[in-house]
Amino acid sequence: MSSSYENWSREDLIARLKQLEGRPNSQQRVQLAQNSSKTVATTLSTRPEKFDFASYPRRKIALKFCYSGWEYNGLAYQLKPTPLPTVEGVIFDALTKTKLIDPDAGYDGCEWEKCGRTDRGVSAAGQVISLWVRSALEENMIAAAAEHTSPASPAALDYVGILNRVLPPTIRILAWSPVSKTFSARFACKYRHYKYFFSSERLDIPKMRDAASRLLGLHDFRNLCKLDPAKQITMFDRKILRADIDPVDSVSPSVYVLNLIGTAFLYHQVRHIMAVLLLVGRGLEHPSVVSSLVNIKGAQQPRDGDSLEVVDCKPEYQMADALPLMLWDCAYSDEDVDWRTDGHQPGGDNSAEDGRGIYHLLHSIRARSEIYLTLNQHFLDAASLFFPEPWLMSDQGPVGIRSGGSIAIEVPLGGGNSRKLQQYVPLLERKRLDPVGVVNERWRNGKGFRRDQKRLMVEGSDSDSDQAE
């Protein structure tokens, strides 16, 4: 369009004026350039600098924590994606978010070590890990605290409060302890205490106690665990220190707990033991079956009236459900750990929660669970007005259940789960798995060995044979 305005129409002139009004003049353009430079400078000056972990002292500590197993894909972190997050993965993220550990250094960089692995669905009330973390203490104070030669300093970081503020309610840090540089959460543990909760309905508790008592002492538990050829385990001896079956409390008299304490446990050992105890409690097996299952070489002495078999290969059977299992405690020597919350020993005058609300949170969760229990009981009460209980005695003697016009054998699996069978085959008459040596050799000669070698090159070795659940 020509710039000779005398030939422009009225509409074109108005459009041109509007265009010129929208442009800044020379002075405005200078001001805009200055403002833009200030904005860039401000952005650069406020950009967060990379956190320099090397400029801070470190100390080695142990963390005691609890978690709800049904929310997670087990304790141990995994390189591959998992359907649910892992407990270690969530805690690691919390430690990096609070800049207590360097995320670039990974698990190896902080010498991360766990007491015992728990599988998917298994909970813990006293799990322990040890690792190096950032500290607010000077080097000499860190060394003194690690050797337990001085009380906690007011300058010590509040590890419990810092982590619980960013962790989900299903994971709670309960306490921390300064430890020596050589402390190992796994190898310093004196014993591990597991609890398995179950309903005593239609179970013979005295017979279960008889069977549980046969676990005490040092035994070969290859028939009461899951055989994992990838670990190439050949020694299955484990020592059980306590195996008691007790009511949980007077409020719920039908709920019992197996208290199992041992120096170390095999993979899925507790759940296999509980599966056999439930079979005994239902009357499907005699208590002496436990003695036979640990009678690998025929060295077990029978009790009065018992008839023992030598069982050198594991019979096929399903382990108990994961939900009722809990790692209750990992025990350490008082010389190794000194548990505290915010720099003070738990239970002292200064052990207030300081806003973390751990006890209140867990109390609220329990109160809500009791409401769910009451609601479910009322659902059952409502159904009982129209439907009778299905349990009856079968022709084989043990308690059966109505199923499709006949009576099936109900095999309890814990956690409210069970299997229904038309005919029950006793454990010692079932098909046996291959001997351990054969299973291990088959794995070494197969694809599993080569696959795991590649995995170990990436992940590093985790040869923990005491991977209980």
Residues noted as catalytic: 119
Burial of 385 by CB count in 10 Å (0-12 exposed, 13-18 middle, 19+ buried)? exposed
Copy the structure tokens of residue 144. 């003194």
Residue with tokens 């322990």: 128
Copy the structure tokens of residue 356. 């973390």
188, 346 in Cβ contact below 8 A? no
Which 3 state secondary structure label does DSSP give 98? coil
Which 3 state secondary structure label does DSSP give 201? coil
Burial of 269 by CB count in 10 Å (0-12 exposed, 13-18 middle, 19+ buried)? buried
∠ CA 336-338-341, rounded to 5°: 145
Q: From CA 328, how far away is CA 127, in angstroms rounded? A: 8
**What single letter denotes the amino acid at residue 422?**
Q
Handedness of CA 257, 263, 268, 273 (dihedral sign): negative
Copy the structure tokens of residue 306. 């018992």
